[in-house]
Amino acid sequence: MSAAISSGQGRAAARLGLFLLLLPAILWLGLLVVLPHVEMAILSFSQRIRAGVYGFGFGNYLEFLTEPLYWRTFGRTAIMSILVTLITLVISFPVALYIAKVARGATKPILFLMCLIPFWASELVRTLGWMMLLRETGVASYLMQLAGLTYGPVELLYNDGAVILGLVYGGMLFMIVPLANALESLDDSQVEAGYDLGGSGFTVLRRIIIPHAMPGIVAGSIVVFMLSVGNFVTPVLLGGKNGLWFTEQIYAQFITRFNWPQGAAFGFMLLLLSTLIVWAGLRLTGQGFSETLRRS
């Protein structure tokens, strides 16, 4: 654009253009992201001194550490999310390999698109599907009774297994897409050479295929982990009272108990957790943040 303009007044126009383009970006990031987080930080360090009077203090964080329900829920959320990520990876890897390497011709894009379809449906709809399948009066229980496997209705909902199932289901797409993209670029001759040099199927997988897919594995795992940790609907609806997810605690503090400083401190703990895990994942595998995000 600088091309069409002469120097002096052109520079002023270019500055104006820059300013006009910067304005929405700064308003967006400033008012909707940065300042709200600053506010949350301030809030998390304010504690009640007496009725209606708040002052600086670590009380909210101390409360988090001393109340077993809180830190147990936190730890549980972290561990289960890691578990969900691993299970998702294991389940998705063969499918991604199939899409990237085995499927030929028109099958390949069809399989790929079929993976995407369920994720155009809302998270809520997907969760509803699992509720209908798993609950006492649901499809699975009904079919088991029909087959004579059980005599009465079986409750498959409201346990950790159901929560993990729901989260894995919700994360699969975000694992398969980066994995398939990474495996796509794997040169078949490398795999052939691996076998040719006497490698077994397992060695070829471990030494050639998995290292090649590493960028996809990292990208997919990070996204799945983030989605699990930050999820709300799945643990609440599939886990019921036993769901105990940290986002629920945040919601409860903010909306139900109206204890915003405590909720803000919880929010920061969650943010810290996800940042830490993402950072560790990137560190361990030597990947960059921006590229990884773009890839997913």
Partner 1 sequence: MTEPADLALEQVTKVFAGHRAVDGVNFAVRRGEFFSILGPSGCGKTTLMRMIAGFEMPSSGEISIRGQSMLGVPSNRRPVNMVFQNLALFPMMNVGENVAYGLACQGVGRAEREARAVRILERVGLPGYEERQVTQLSGGQRQRVAIARCLVLEPTLLLLDEPLGALDLKLREHMKLELKQLQGAFNTTFIYITHDQSEALVMSDRVAVMNKGCFEQIGSPRELYHHPATNFVAGFVGDANAWDVTPNPSLGPGLGVTLVSGADLRAHGRIGAVGHAYLRPEAIALAARIEELSGLPNRFHGKVSAVLFDGAASNLVIEAEGFAPHIRATLPQAGALAGVEVGARLAFGFSAEAVKVFPA
Partner 2 sequence: MWNNASPAFRLYVLAFYLFLFTPLLVVALFAFNASLFPAPPWKGFTLEWFTGEGVIFGKPGILKDPAMLRAMFTSLKVALPVTVLAVVLGTANAFLLERKEFPGKSLLAMMMLWPLVIPGVILGISILAFSSRIANGLESWLNMDLDFLRPGLFLVILGQLSFILTISTLIIAARLKKFDRNLEEAAYDLGAGRWRVLTTITLPFLRPAMIGAGLVALLMSFENFNTTLILVGSDAPLPIYLYGQMREGATPAVNAASLLLMLVAGSLAVLVAFANRGEGR
The residues that touch partner 1, with contacts defined as CB under 8 A, are 3-7
User: Where do the H-state alpha helices sit in the chain?
Assistant: 7-27, 35-44, 59-66, 68-97, 107-120, 123-134, 139-146, 160-184, 188-196, 201-204, 210-229, 233-239, 246-251, 260-285, 289-295
Residue 7 touches which member of partner 1, partner 2, none, C-beta under 5-8 Å by kind: partner 1
> Can residue 35 be called a binding residue for partner 2 (CB under 8 A)?
yes
Say which DSSP state 103 is in: -
Task: Work out whether 114 is an interface residue with partner 2 (CB under 8 A).
Answer: yes
Minimum CB distance to partner 1, residue 3 (Å): 4
In whole angstroms, the minimum distance from the beta carbon of 5 to partner 1 comes to 6
**For the window 166-195, what string marks contact with partner 2 as x by the rule CB under 8 A?**
---x--x---------------x--xx--x
Residue 229 interacts with partner 2 (CB under 8 A): yes or no: yes
Interface with partner 2 in residues 250-279 (CB under 8 A): 250-251, 254-255, 260, 263-264, 267, 270-271, 274-275, 278
Residues 119-148 that bind partner 2 (CB under 8 A): 120-133, 135, 137-139, 142-143
DSSP track, 216-259: HHHHHHHHHHHHHHT--HHHHHHHGGG---HHHHHHIIIIIS--
Closest contact distance (angstroms) between CB of 147 and partner 2 is 13
The total number of residues written for the chain in this structure: 296
> CA 2 → CA 10, 21, 22, 24, 25, distances in Å?
7, 15, 17, 22, 22
Assess 293 for contact with partner 2 (CB under 8 A). Answer: yes
